[in-house]
Structure 1
Amino acid sequence: MQTLFTIDVSAPIDPPRAGLLRLGTNRAPGGATIDINNRYILRDGKPWLPVMGEFHYSRVPEHLWDGALAKMKAAGVDIVASYVVWNHHESEPGRFDWRGRRDLRRFVAACARHALLMFARIGPWAHGEVRFGGIPGWVVDQTPTRSNDSLYLGLVERFYQQIAEQLHGELWKDGGPVIGVQIENEYNLTGPGQGSAHIAKLKSLALAAGLDTPLYTVTGWDQAVFPHGEVTPVFGGYPDVPWGISPTMSAPNEVYAFRFTSRVGGDLGAQTQGAGEGDADKVVNDTPFLGAEYGGGVPTMYRRRPVIDADDIAAMLPVQLGSGVNLYGYYMFHGGRNPPGEREGQESTATGGWNDLPIINYDFQAPYGANGEAHPVLGKLRPMHAFLHEWGEMLATYAVQAPTKQPKGANDLETLRFSARSDGKRGFLFVNNHVRQYAMPTQQGVRFSVRLKNRTVLLPSCRVDVRSGVYFVWPVAFQMIDAELRYATAQPMTRLATPEGDIFVFRAVEGIPAEFAFEPETLRELLPDSELRLFDGALVVTLIPGARIKVITAHGHTLTLLLLSAHDAERTSVLPFQGMRRLVRTNAEAFVLNNQIVLRTTNTALQVDFYPPLQVIPPATLPLTREATGDGFDSYAAQFNLRSFDVQTIGLRQAQNVPPIKKGGPANASVEPAPEAFGRSAAWQINLPRNALDGLSNVYLSIQYRGDVGRLFAGTTLIDDHFFNGLPWRISLSDIPNDALSVPLMVTILPLRTDAPIYLDARYDPRPEAKREGALQTVALDDVCLEPEYELLIGSPI
């Protein structure tokens, strides 16, 4: 089967229009600017397509912030977004707490220290899977919320003034990193004292308090209402709907289908039901397409516990970017845990919430989990972030064009999904053949025809098969200094500047030969000599992953073209080291802190490769052995001494039979068992060795179990909890207070009934086996172990 997919990108693009939004001060003392028009954000007058990652400072101990922010920076994040959760700061009337993990000012200063900008999501209603959406219980008890009620607004005003005091001197206009404020969240109420007038009032309170920033946003989904011209709507989408009520697998999700009309995603889990269509689609011609909540994972909720694979997150990037998104914001990028406190807590049906969440754990299956550990999805995200850093300025100006033939909808799994963004002369193809939990057919014999203003580009020279699960971005009429690629069937990753010339790095696409088609008049020579063939007037060379060639342009400039395999690209970060940006390829987590490369791994054997090569062997905290790779990288190996631990578990009590799961709450769906049911849990004592953390960057307590809900205690203090989803439950020992580690721990596991109306991923669901054995419930502690994390520092600290 052979198929030609056509797309016309020759239509003229309207010039951007500015001055449509009434925003705040956009100029910093040194002259740096943040602006916005109806198509994109500008930084210092240039189009800007940044990556934003959500990280809730109050959910992470403050001594871990620097490391966490350094990791996010290395992963390609430009802006850190965070809720300022009201109840985390004013759990009692008039008594504000900005200390420790609640120290917003210190957190913002840490963002600046790592060259990260910051976006404050100030509520007052935040959601964030927090009780009452983050509004303190004592406020909920005495006044109508989320409206222009005078008592409520007076309390909000005091809260905003407190935030402004914390951020004094840290706003963009003061030379600080805070570039924006989000007002409220998922706001679609239209009753008396509500609607867009409430958002306008909240913005005026923020401005009066001194929260003067270049950008003001609101969430635009779920029939959101807001005053036009005062705020910019932001959008999102998640790979699953853990807030749903069905105990079965979800239908194909629309986040994997390109958007050519509305920017508003499907069900994003708003707690209230709006009336009408909302305002977001009414302002598409006046506001850019910005994202704030594209899922970096999903929360584990009681009635639905999906397990998200790395491709489920990464495949959203080409789809949303290919739909026109010009700010890619993740929720979440770093997980955490709810802070301790008497009246702070999680969203629950018992307190009127739509969902039941763990009391403490907020891992979110994010790129960095609750413990700050790197999850596999990072390797798939970093190459795309590097691409945006290098070519986002150009991509931001490109308009979206739909193909001649489009899928009929999210459920159409047969039609190839693709789009293009272009200015009519150049552009990028975005292709996705991945839909979470659904096998897509291999698209056989694929070739594309892209009509530009002055020509039509046919690619590739040989028809290719696009396998199920594959997604990518290909350049069309791509400028490499003064050489022009008519097209490439590999994804641009980054560009490195060196004294010997620029290096253009590409990522190969699984199962597709990597063709690079040059315009002949722009090319003089390839070194070493490569087999060139003529296709449709272009000179085409096919490279294998690992290949590195010199390109001599017609004007005599020299550049290097490097092709990484998909596997190598996933192990590669772009980091500054020894005076220049380099590729750092390693089997460990890599980031920069205090001018040193930090490598962390749970393996005793570590390898790290640098490109361009280092001039000298750098200092390191372990001996480095230099090795040859044959692909131009400078390779080093190091060996850690194995650390192993004995962990003793002692059974304390056996589980009792648990009652059937009840339905209730606003969703009239499965709800978490009542508190007294947890007395039926099985319990074990866990004895940890003393001083386990000595000489290690961290140690993870890993618990494998079967059941419904796991809870971990030190004495009577709940340290962590976990809704079973089949994945290992991991707790960082460095997050546990020393006094808690000085006593034996206790883990309890509530049995999971085999008839529980709860969604679990079929790959991890223990109920079918338990049913076959005739059991009414299942509960087991399968394994408890400690996993050491080793650390190697390379380079000299500041």
Structure 2
Amino acid sequence: MRNINMMKSLFFLLSMLGIQCIALHAQNRLEYDIKIKSSNAAVITPKLKMGTSVRPDGESFSYTGNYLLRNGKPWFPVMGEFNYERYNAEQWEQQILAMKAGGVQVISSYIIWIFHETKEGVFDWSGNNDLNKFLALCKKHGMYVWVRIGPWVHAEIKNGGFPDWLMAKNIKLRTDDSAYLHYSDLYYKQVAKQCNGYYFKQGGPIIGLQLENELNFKNAPEYEHMKTLKKMAIRDGIDVPYYSGFAPGPDKQDEFLYTLGSYPDSPWNTTTKAFIKPVYFIKPLKADDDIGSDLLGKVDANVRNNYPLISAELGAGMQKTYHRRVDVSAADVAANIFAKLAAGLNGFGYFMFHGGMTPLDLGNNYGFQESRVSNYPNDMPLLNYDFQAPLGAMGIPAPSFSELKLMNLFAKDYGSKLTETRPYFPAKLKRSMFSTDTVQASVRTKNGAGFIFLSNYQRLVSLPAVKDFQLSLNNGTTVEMVPAKPITFPSNHYVIWPYKLEMQSVLLQYATVQPLSIVNNGGTKTFVFFRDAIAPEMVFDNTTIKKVTALKGCLWNAKSGTITCDKQEGSFYFEVMGKNGELVKVLVVTREQALQTYKIDYGNKKEALIFTEALIRQEANNQWSLEVANKDGKIEIKTYPNSDVVVKSISNGVTCKQVDAGNLFSSFIINPSVGNKPSAHFSPIVDNNIAAAQSFKDSILSVFKKSKEFNPLQPGPLYLPTFHSLPNQQLYQSNYSCKPSAGVVDWEVTVNYDGDLMTMYQDNKLVYDQFNYNGICKFRLNYLSKNTADPILIQVLPVEKQFDIYWGSLEKTLDDQLKAKVKEIDIVPVYRYKVAIEEKMVK
């Protein structure tokens, strides 16, 4: 009997444990239940005081309470920051084209006062300051412009961009002080003159104006000041469709659009520890409350109701400060922006999309950069404003260029549909940055159809794969499980899935592949997706399909309307005939192919996809350039549709040969007829003038110590625009042998080194600098030097043990940074070829 009772007790305990496990499992699964509505509430459009919104050719811009309008239709803008004054004017055009190739439609740029009026009353709009020329190039290439004129801009510039002479006057800055307004108005008038002829109402590219920056105008005096600046700008002639601010303001003000921001890290933060931010949470839309906290403290990050949900500063990279050596990956950048898109964002504003170099203040033998000397809590390099941007300080593409291009291609073809959706979230949201059992999710829908956003990503936290993942989507009438069977959601992964997507007359119920682009060719469209670590599954509404053809390597289940692919990799293609006889083409590429994708227009308004590792720029109608930095100059191109497009070289000394005309893609190989073989050499230099080096360091520190922000454990950049020896330095003379040849436009140099920071000089003048954050420094030789045969002096300084610095990815090799050393220098040619991409002639 005792054994029977024990068995009963054990059975009872096991039963209770099973019930608890089921309940716990159900509770966990509830995290993925999302209630959506079959119809959305009407969008309320506020009456805002914007400017002239129609230009002579009839094009127009407007807004609703949720999104912007272009020609009366929903518009999802892709805006990227490029501080034109920080780049060589001779290369502006190529960089504008590179930004356009990356999917940018609008270029935003600070106009930085201190660069243009270093001496009171003397304005300089020449050379790299030539705003008029920059606007002309933007107009030439069909790029809109959003100017950010301050007067205070921050931009990691001393005084926030105010000239030194203005700082010396006894006036109340950033207020309605009459003297301050007088000088600001003189500056505005100069800006307005440079912009004249390029306002949207004149047929030009300027569609937006941001006034001030990071000025909290929730309170009456600041709000009145913002309105005063706007009146002044309009009076001076700056009349544009959109006026914006980048800071919190009143809930129901009617003067400015709000724009939000978010960064993967905060290099301005005083901590020297890893800083894990909640910006990767998918939750109702909020701005990053840490932006500007170095000057303002924590700010109100709430999104104001009834204003377009657009952004101005989504961190497309991260600038390094001396005390925080932040190293961000392409995924760190993209996953942050992805979370905002999932939350309801209706316009990208990347900061920075293109890096640059801050001009030197040679008159004062120092820099214009933000520093503790200028009473900021941060130190920047004197020159380097690379920002780890998609296009760096000298236009070198970073991995984030391709990563963000995935979202930009999606925004171009699906943005108008996305803007009209509303986001819905699970009842239980992720709150811990260290939670390892939750896939974050949202569904953006209109009338029950839209896109699913999923993320299992948190910067600096290694999240495991989540098993048994499945969404339950409840519209109040029916409940649908997506995907139909639970899956394992990969670690460090984020993805967009289509949900009830209308593909012409065919309805895609859902798919576990991500929408990339839509290719129009005559009357036929190809819907392009990409696959990743999750097995592809595409479920169609059978009632909209007549038949599926041309499918190879995957399985079509006509009964369930499902295509599944057991292949672990590779692209695939199929065609769907709708019930009405309409043909729909579907192409699914790999994620690696998607990262190489460009969409172009070629003859007769037809579109094609180009897959290449090279950077593509459209130079003229059907003429393009391809740029790559490698040893042999070889570029491979694949095209889709395979039968319609031909690529021809139009550069002398360069051949382009078709090597394959496969079922899906045609392949072409471009080669230079003569290879280019540059070389780099470096050798140490002994400098025994120890006393002079120590004396110079002491003199610099004596200046630094006068700042209230000085921290001896974070001394900052102890160098000047002119070369001086420093204690414990390692000096090297580097020489480069580079001879021109067909297709070569520059040479890309990679320096591998250990140490605290590295500076480079030619003729004793600083030409580049870097706070070490990953042990690698890349630069373009022609950009730095007018004569590549001239040697470059490299100075590397070591870390001192007592320094209090956040080293990020260098933490594991910190002992190496105590010993300054150049380990290796490599150099490869930068090839740029011109090609014609045309419609293949039918014989």
Residue 641 (structure 2) aligned to one of 609, 612, 615: 612
Q: Does residue 330 of structure 1 match 2:359? A: no
The alpha-carbon deviation at position 645 of structure 1 amounts to 2.4
The alpha-carbon deviation at position 691 of structure 1 amounts to 4.4
Partner of 2:188: 160
**Paired residues for 1:245-324 under 5 Å:** 245-251=270-276, 253-260=277-284, 263-273=286-296, 278=300, 281=302, 284-324=304-344
Partner of 2:669: 637
Q: 1:615 to 1:590 in 2, by over 3 A?
A: closer
Instruction: Give the aligned residue type for 1:330.
Output: Y
Q: Contact conserved, 2:63 with 2:69, CA < 8 A, in 1?
A: yes
Instruction: Give the aligned residue type for 1:57.
Output: Y
Following the alignment from structure 2 to structure 1, what is the Cα–Cα distance between the partners of residues 708 and 669? 56
Q: Contact conserved, 1:706 with 1:726, CA < 8 A, in 2?
A: no
Q: Does residue 789 of structure 1 match 2:817? A: no
Partner of 2:22: none
Q: Contact conserved, 1:575 with 1:591, CA < 8 A, in 2?
A: no
Q: 1:355 to 1:226 in 2, by over 3 A?
A: farther
Q: Does residue 760 of structure 1 match 2:783? A: no
Instruction: Give the aligned residue type for 2:638.
Output: D
Following the alignment from structure 1 to structure 2, what is the Cα–Cα distance between the partners of residues 754 and 380? 37
Q: 1:378 to 1:765 in 2, by over 3 A?
A: same
Following the alignment from structure 1 to structure 2, what is the Cα–Cα distance between the partners of residues 543 and 203? 59
Q: Does residue 628 of structure 1 match 2:655? A: no
Following the alignment from structure 2 to structure 1, what is the Cα–Cα distance between the partners of residues 75 and 437? 35
Following the alignment from structure 2 to structure 1, what is the Cα–Cα distance between the partners of residues 328 and 109? 23
Partner of 2:111: 84
Q: Contact conserved, 2:638 with 2:666, CA < 8 A, in 1?
A: yes
Q: Does the residue aligned with 1:122 lie in a helix, a strand or coil?
A: strand
Residue 172 (structure 1) aligned to one of 187, 200, 218: 200
**Paired residues for 1:684-763 under 5 Å:** 684-689=732-737, 691=739, 696-738=744-786, 741=788, 743-763=790-810
Q: 1:647 to 1:608 in 2, by over 3 A?
A: same
Q: Contact conserved, 2:44 with 2:65, CA < 8 A, in 1?
A: yes
Q: 1:653 to 1:244 in 2, by over 3 A?
A: farther
Structure 2: any 5+ residue segments left out of the alignment?
1-24, 839-843
1:517-552 CA-partner distances (Å, limit 9, x unpaired)? 1111100111136633378x6544447541110110
Partner of 2:8: none
**Paired residues for 1:675-690 under 5 Å:** 675=719, 679-680=726-727, 681-689=729-737
Partner of 1:646: 679
Following the alignment from structure 1 to structure 2, what is the Cα–Cα distance between the partners of residues 707 and 542? 50
Q: Contact conserved, 1:693 with 1:734, CA < 8 A, in 2?
A: no
Instruction: Give the aligned residue type for 1:624.
Output: C
Partner of 2:5: none
**Paired residues for 1:86-485 under 5 Å:** 86-142=113-169, 143-188=171-216, 194-220=221-247, 228-251=253-276, 253-260=277-284, 263-273=286-296, 278=300, 281=302, 284-341=304-361, 342=363, 345-452=368-475, 455-485=478-508
Q: Contact conserved, 2:754 with 2:775, CA < 8 A, in 1?
A: no
Aligned length: 780
Identity over aligned pairs, percent: 27
The alpha-carbon deviation at position 49 of structure 1 amounts to 0.8
Kindly indicate which of the two structures has a greater share of residues assigned to helix.
2
Instruction: Give the aligned residue type for 1:755.
Output: Q
Q: 1:29 to 1:633 in 2, by over 3 A?
A: same
Q: Does residue 561 of structure 1 match 2:586? A: yes
Following the alignment from structure 1 to structure 2, what is the Cα–Cα distance between the partners of residues 744 and 214? 50
Structure 1 ranges of 4+ moved more than 6 A: 655-664
Q: Contact conserved, 2:60 with 2:71, CA < 8 A, in 1?
A: yes
The alpha-carbon deviation at position 400 of structure 1 amounts to 1.3
The alpha-carbon deviation at position 594 of structure 1 amounts to 2.5
Q: Does residue 523 of structure 1 match 2:549? A: no
Following the alignment from structure 2 to structure 1, what is the Cα–Cα distance between the partners of residues 278 and 109? 26
Q: Contact conserved, 2:405 with 2:595, CA < 8 A, in 1?
A: yes
Following the alignment from structure 2 to structure 1, what is the Cα–Cα distance between the partners of residues 201 and 647? 43
Q: Does the residue aligned with 1:106 lie in a helix, a strand or coil?
A: helix
Q: 1:99 to 1:694 in 2, by over 3 A?
A: farther
The alignment's C-alpha RMSD in Å is 2.7
Instruction: Give the aligned residue type for 1:208.
Output: R
Q: Contact conserved, 1:33 with 1:45, CA < 8 A, in 2?
A: yes
Instruction: Give the aligned residue type for 1:726.
Output: N
The alpha-carbon deviation at position 620 of structure 1 amounts to 3.7
The alpha-carbon deviation at position 16 of structure 1 amounts to 1.8
Following the alignment from structure 2 to structure 1, what is the Cα–Cα distance between the partners of residues 661 and 318? 39
Q: Does residue 780 of structure 1 match 2:821? A: yes
Instruction: Give the aligned residue type for 1:794.
Output: V
Q: 1:227 to 1:670 in 2, by over 3 A?
A: farther
| TM-score for the superposition, normalised by structure 1 | 0.92
Q: Contact conserved, 1:457 with 1:486, CA < 8 A, in 2?
A: no
Q: Contact conserved, 2:67 with 2:346, CA < 8 A, in 1?
A: yes
Q: Does the residue aligned with 2:287 lie in a helix, a strand or coil?
A: coil
Q: 1:442 to 1:168 in 2, by over 3 A?
A: same
Following the alignment from structure 2 to structure 1, what is the Cα–Cα distance between the partners of residues 585 and 475? 27
Q: Does the residue aligned with 1:408 lie in a helix, a strand or coil?
A: coil
Q: 1:654 to 1:778 in 2, by over 3 A?
A: farther
Q: 1:146 to 1:226 in 2, by over 3 A?
A: farther
Q: Contact conserved, 2:624 with 2:837, CA < 8 A, in 1?
A: no
Instruction: Give the aligned residue type for 1:618.
Output: K
Partner of 1:773: none
Following the alignment from structure 2 to structure 1, what is the Cα–Cα distance between the partners of residues 120 and 153? 19
Partner of 1:29: 56
Which moves more between the two structures, 691-700 or 18-27? 691-700
Q: Does the residue aligned with 1:358 lie in a helix, a strand or coil?
A: coil
Q: Does the residue aligned with 1:201 lie in a helix, a strand or coil?
A: helix
Q: Does residue 577 of structure 1 match 2:597? A: no
Q: Does the residue aligned with 1:322 lie in a helix, a strand or coil?
A: helix
Following the alignment from structure 2 to structure 1, what is the Cα–Cα distance between the partners of residues 100 and 664? 26
1:319-365 CA-partner distances (Å, limit 9, x unpaired)? 11111111111000001101244366100001111210000110000
The alpha-carbon deviation at position 456 of structure 1 amounts to 3.2
Following the alignment from structure 1 to structure 2, what is the Cα–Cα distance between the partners of residues 11 and 197? 43
Partner of 1:774: none
1:666-721 CA-partner distances (Å, limit 9, x unpaired)? 48672415559962232222222364688512112322211112111111211111
Q: Does the residue aligned with 1:355 lie in a helix, a strand or coil?
A: coil
Q: 1:146 to 1:30 in 2, by over 3 A?
A: same
| TM-score for the superposition, normalised by structure 2 | 0.88
Q: Does the residue aligned with 2:150 lie in a helix, a strand or coil?
A: coil
Residue 556 (structure 2) aligned to one of 511, 532, 537: 532
The alpha-carbon deviation at position 761 of structure 1 amounts to 2.2
Following the alignment from structure 1 to structure 2, what is the Cα–Cα distance between the partners of residues 382 and 154? 43
The alpha-carbon deviation at position 108 of structure 1 amounts to 1.1
Q: 1:113 to 1:149 in 2, by over 3 A?
A: same
Residue 549 (structure 1) aligned to one of 571, 574, 589: 574
Which moves more between the two structures, 525-534 or 288-297? 525-534
Which moves more between the two structures, 236-245 or 450-459? 450-459
The alpha-carbon deviation at position 722 of structure 1 amounts to 0.9
Q: Does residue 488 of structure 1 match 2:511? A: yes
The alpha-carbon deviation at position 12 of structure 1 amounts to 4.3
The alpha-carbon deviation at position 413 of structure 1 amounts to 4.2
Structure 1: any 5+ residue segments left out of the alignment?
771-776
Instruction: Give the aligned residue type for 1:551.
Output: V
Following the alignment from structure 1 to structure 2, what is the Cα–Cα distance between the partners of residues 753 and 225? 48
